Amino acid sequence: MMKYISGESVELYDIVENNEGETWIQATVVYIADTNEATKECQWLLDEKPEWAEGSIAICWNFLQEPENISDRLLFTDTENNDELRFVRRQN
């Protein structure tokens, strides 16, 4: 089970913040490789199982305006020794 640096287990739809330079930007967890979970938009990752996504999670930026292509909003990362990704809250 993947965990955040603060110790919480990573769950689908968690709200997180990613450090982009000196700015923390909110995002939502949309894919977790370790548990084979993905949102509807990221289901292709479970179907195709790309090698480059092994051991990672994907977050989707929480922007007010939605880009047309979800891949424009995705960032793949892991949580091992990653202090640029922090847990904010669970979705209800």
Report residue 18's pLDDT band, with 50, 70 and 90 as the boundaries: confident
Q: What mean pLDDT comes out for the span 45-62?
A: 91
C-alpha distances in angstroms, 24 versus 13, 18, 61?
18, 5, 11
Q: What is the pTM (predicted TM-score) of this model?
A: 0.83
Q: What mean pLDDT comes out for the span 22-39?
A: 90
Amino acid at 23: T
Report residue 49's pLDDT band, with 50, 70 and 90 as the boundaries: very high
Is the pLDDT score of 78 beyond 70? yes
* Close Cβ partners of 86 (under 8 Å, ≥ 6 residues apart): 4, 5, 6, 16, 17, 19, 24
φ, ψ of residue 22 in degrees (nearest 5): -105, 10
- Using alpha carbons only, how large is the chain's radius of gyration in Å? 12
